[in-house]
Amino acid sequence: MGLFGYLFVWCTLLLALCLQVMPLPDAWLVWRPDWLGVLLAYWCVATPQRVGVVHGFVLGLILDLIEGAPLGQNALTLSLLAYLFLLLYQRFRVYSIWQQAVLVFVLLGIAQLVEQWLRTIFGPISVSLEFLLPALIGALLWPWLFTMMQVLRRRLGIG
Amino acid sequence: MRPIKPLFSYGPVPTYRMLLCAVLAFGLMFAEHRFSAVETVRSHLTTVVAPIQWLVSLPSEGMRWGAMAISDQQSLIDENLRLREQLLTLSNRVQRMASLTAENVHLRELLNAPNPDDVPYITAELLSLDSDPFTQQMVINRGRRDGAYIGQPVMDASGLIGQVVSVSAYTSRVLMVADANHAVPVEINRNGLRFIAQGTGQLDTLDVPSVPATADIREGDLLVTSGLGGRFPQGYPVARVSRVKRASSQAFMEVTAEPISQPERSRYFLLLFPPERPDTSGLSGPERMARQVIWPGDPAHPEVHRISETALTAALKLQAGAPH
């Protein structure tokens, strides 16, 4: 993967970051898929030699700065997510696409759970199971996103 | 000879990197919790990500502009009509306000009481509402360069919005009164009873805890800032009591209130600059308490620094002498 490949990876990740922090009406916020998590997962599975924990850490720090969260909160969750996908990517590749989606849901859910734990450490919040919705919607989007990204990646010859 | 490539390679399992990242992340969280130097570093870094914040606010700006560009003549005429009516109502109120102000000045002169000054302010525009469903915050387009500071009160056209919690060069982050981490000292406008209004995490509800069962509080009561605690100036509307639940067996009532400000609909805000309070950390307990209630430069008592020293000494002497 050359310079162009890296550029492409970072462009897609930054696009996902923008989608992640795009202002939405208050009632829609919980329905926003975990864009950044899903895309990071894709690149960890597709190019595990290149994209990994450090990418998650840097993106998480940027997200912390934009969201005003305690520095390191999203950095920790996203690097953990990247790590989990790097652990499982070989098994992941032999799964059918819907099995993959289920696994994506489980791993994104674990990351969201860790994030909720960190939040409760830093102060009172209203806890409800709604925090799993971004993971669920992200997983439902996975088959389409995965197929689209694979086609794009093959056409651009990145890998 | 090259070694045979194993059929099932393990690939990269970056456990050490993960450990390093985890230690770094926990270190950052701890440092931010303990050392205020991280706050300045953070405010500089936030300036770096400001372009992303600006970029993601573009679509909604564009939508607003587009909606205005394609809105038909009829709706513009309607809006114009509505605004004219509003202008008429407001100018009518201003006229009455002028006479009331004159009357107020006159009455205060009769009472020999000083006139409260106006609190200076700057305007600010919304950059983005928080993208996180579990906190109630927003980002506005005024920062350190404009004089914004941490703890500054923020208003909209109708009431108190919240306070500034972090400041970068060009933007700052506002914690809203409805956030679960926010509480504001209030009093009932009708009779001056003082309470705390606490956020619940939902934009349309505030909690008023520890209201005695005998307190005179009714649905529809206006809660305004009491000015105690010194962060918010006195007399700005915060919320209206929406529900009072009395249980005869309980010592306290359950009271909820609805914020008056409309963070979901407002785009323009006021950042207030209430007069600064003196540093009271080095003073003894009673004197500090006395100074927290009335301090030199208080808009309600601008002449207090002239009269307070003798009165304060007398009060302190009285208090010191009381137990004996």
Residue B197: name the closest of B153, B135, B259 by CA. Answer: B259
CA–CA gap between residue B264 and residue B252 (Å, rounded):
32
Strands B160-167 and B153-155: antiparallel
Q: Which residue has the higher pLDDT, A128 or A44?
A: A44
What's the pLDDT at A43?
93
Domain presence at residue B23: no
- CB-nearest to A126 from B25, B53, B180 is B180
Domain presence at residue B278: yes
pLDDT single digits (tens) A126-156: 667 888 898 999 999 999 999 999 999 888 8
pLDDT single digits (tens) A4-35: 888 999 999 999 999 988 877 777 878 889 99
A71 with B38: Cβ contact below 8 A = yes
What's the pLDDT at B317?
61
- Cβ contact B137:A68 at 8 Å: yes
CA–CA gap between residue B130 and residue B112 (Å, rounded):
48
Query: Mean pLDDT lowest for which of B29-33, B213-217, B319-323?
Result: B319-323
Q: In chain B, positions 137-156, which contact chain A (CB-CB < 8 Å)?
A: 137, 139
Residue B207: name the closest of B258, B252, B170 by CA. Answer: B258
Query: Mean pLDDT lowest for which of A1-10, A15-24, B108-117, B218-227?
Result: B108-117
Average pLDDT, chain A: 88
Structural domain of residue B199, as residue ranges? Answer: 122-296
pLDDT single digits (tens) B8-26: 555 556 788 889 999 999 9
Query: How sure is the predictor about B296, in pLDDT bands with cuts at 50, 70 and 90?
Result: very low
What's the pLDDT at B106?
80
A26 with B203: Cβ contact below 8 A = yes
DSSP for residue B274: P
CA–CA gap between residue B52 and residue A14 (Å, rounded):
9
pLDDT single digits (tens) B313-324: 665 565 555 444
Query: How sure is the predictor about A124, in pLDDT bands with cuts at 50, 70 and 90?
Result: low
> What is the average pLDDT across B200-213?
87
CA–CA gap between residue A38 and residue A34 (Å, rounded):
6
Q: What would the two tokens of residue B67 be?
A: 């909606």
- CB-nearest to B14 from A21, A52, A126 is A52
Domain presence at residue B184: yes
Domain presence at residue B46: no
Q: Please report which residue ranges of B220-303 form alpha helices under DSSP H.
A: 285-293
- Which amino acid is it at B167? V
Query: How sure is the predictor about B135, in pLDDT bands with cuts at 50, 70 and 90?
Result: confident
CA distance A81 to chain B (A): 10
CA–CA gap between residue B262 and residue B92 (Å, rounded):
24
pLDDT at B302 over 70: no
Average pLDDT, chain B: 79
Q: Which residue has the higher pLDDT, B257 or B6?
A: B257
pLDDT single digits (tens) A89-108: 888 889 999 999 999 999 99
What's the pLDDT at B305?
47
pLDDT single digits (tens) B268-286: 888 988 876 555 556 666 6
> What is the average pLDDT across B53-57?
83
What's the pLDDT at B197?
92
CA distance B162 to chain A (A): 16
> What is the average pLDDT across B184-190?
90
pLDDT at B144 over 90: no
Domain presence at residue B258: yes
- Which amino acid is it at B259? P
Burial class (CB in 10 A: 0-12, 13-18, 19+), B192: exposed
pLDDT at A40 over 90: yes
CA–CA gap between residue A118 and residue B25 (Å, rounded):
11
Domain presence at residue B214: yes
pLDDT at B116 over 70: no
pLDDT single digits (tens) A55-73: 999 999 999 988 888 888 9
pLDDT at B166 over 70: yes
- E strands, chain B, are 121-129, 137-140, 153-155, 160-167, 172-176, 183-188, 194-199, 206-212, 222-225, 237-245, 252-259, 268-272
- Cβ contact B137:B165 at 8 Å: yes
Backbone dihedral angles phi then psi of residue A107, each to the nearest 5 degrees: -70, -40
Per-domain residue ranges for chain A?
3-154
CA–CA gap between residue B167 and residue B44 (Å, rounded):
9
* Cα dihedral A41→A44→A47→A52 (10° resolution): 140
pLDDT single digits (tens) B145-165: 888 988 899 988 888 999 998
Domain presence at residue B40: no
What's the pLDDT at B323?
46
CA distance A66 to chain B (A): 7
Domain presence at residue B47: no
pLDDT at B295 over 90: no
CA–CA gap between residue A18 and residue B53 (Å, rounded):
8
Span between the terminal Cα atoms of chain A, in Å = 6
Q: Choose, out of B131, B135, B182, B207, the residue to mutate when testing the contact with A (most A CBs < 10 Å).
A: B131
What's the total number of domains in chain B? 1
Residue B160: name the closest of B279, B277, B271 by CA. Answer: B271
What's the pLDDT at B65?
83
Task: Give the domain CATH number at B169.
Answer: 2.40.10.340
